[in-house]
Chains A and B, each alone.
Chain A
């Protein structure tokens, strides 16, 4: 099971781009990288997932280098409502093994 390491916290200002990096040095060949967002008093919410290179959706982009030992979640032009905890998760298809959410990164967006 690949262990992930993220910064504990980050601060940003409205309108800026935020990049949160996750390290997963022992990622397995079949593992995908998934990011979740959690607001206070809510369950985590799926944001984006990728296997390699770059993935983009309406919420965020995910950059994965060729060695796949890290990944970067990019949030364009953040707003106050993006203040949340962001979790990086690594796991293989078919739900094999356990998922581990780690400690997450608390992003605080300031006005």
Chain B
């Protein structure tokens, strides 16, 4: 049963520290999404990639967030420097552009707490 994996599952850090979250999409999927979920804002799309190229990162605070896909099996989301307002659950999802539209497979998430 293919799944999206995310590491770490939980991260507690102090304000100002760099945070790196990693995602391994389902093998063969060519589209990767990063979402952030909070009680106040719900599920927000931060960025998405197709064939490793960034297509849209307009949902991301550019001054501190960056997303990359070094290769087809790894996507990263970095926050530098982190702030308390970045505390949230960060989800990665993957899919196929040839598959059903918007059929995304989500990972278990990284719960980030910035103190």
Mask, B77-115, CB within 8 Å of A = 1, is 000000000000001010101001111111111000000
Shortest CB-to-CB span from B72 to chain A, Å, is: 16
* B43 touches which of A32, A44, A91, A93 (Cβ 8 Å): A44
**What's the tally of chain A residues with a CB closer than 8 Å to chain B?**
23
Mask, B25-40, CB within 8 Å of A = 1, is 0000001010000000
* Pair count A-B, CB < 8 A: 62
Residues in B21-68 with C-beta less than 8 Å from chain A: 31, 33, 42-43, 45, 48, 50, 55-56, 58-59
Q: Contact: A100 with B101, CB < 8 Å?
A: no
Which size bracket describes the interface of B in this complex? 20 to 34
Residues in A55-98 with C-beta less than 8 Å from chain B: 87, 89, 91-95, 98
A-side contacts of B58, CB under 8 Å: 98
B-side contacts of A102, CB under 8 Å: 42
A-side contacts of B103, CB under 8 Å: 34, 46, 49
Give the distance in Å from the alpha carbon of A104 to the alpha carbon of B50 in the complex: 26
Cβ of A45 < 8 Å from any Cβ of B? yes
* B42 touches which of A32, A93, A98, A101 (Cβ 8 Å): A101
Cβ of A42 < 8 Å from any Cβ of B? yes
* A43 touches which of B95, B101, B102, B108 (Cβ 8 Å): B108
Shortest CB-to-CB span from A58 to chain B, Å, is: 16
Binding site for B on A (CB under 8 A): 32, 34, 41-46, 49, 87, 89, 91-95, 98-104
CB closest residue in chain A, given B92: A43
Most chain B Cβ neighbours within 10 Å, of A41, A42, A44, A95: A95
Give the distance in Å from the alpha carbon of A9 to the alpha carbon of B58 in the complex: 30
Give the distance in Å from the alpha carbon of A51 to the alpha carbon of B59 in the complex: 27
**Beyond A34-B102, A102-B42, is A95–B91 a contact (Cβ under 8 Å)?**
no
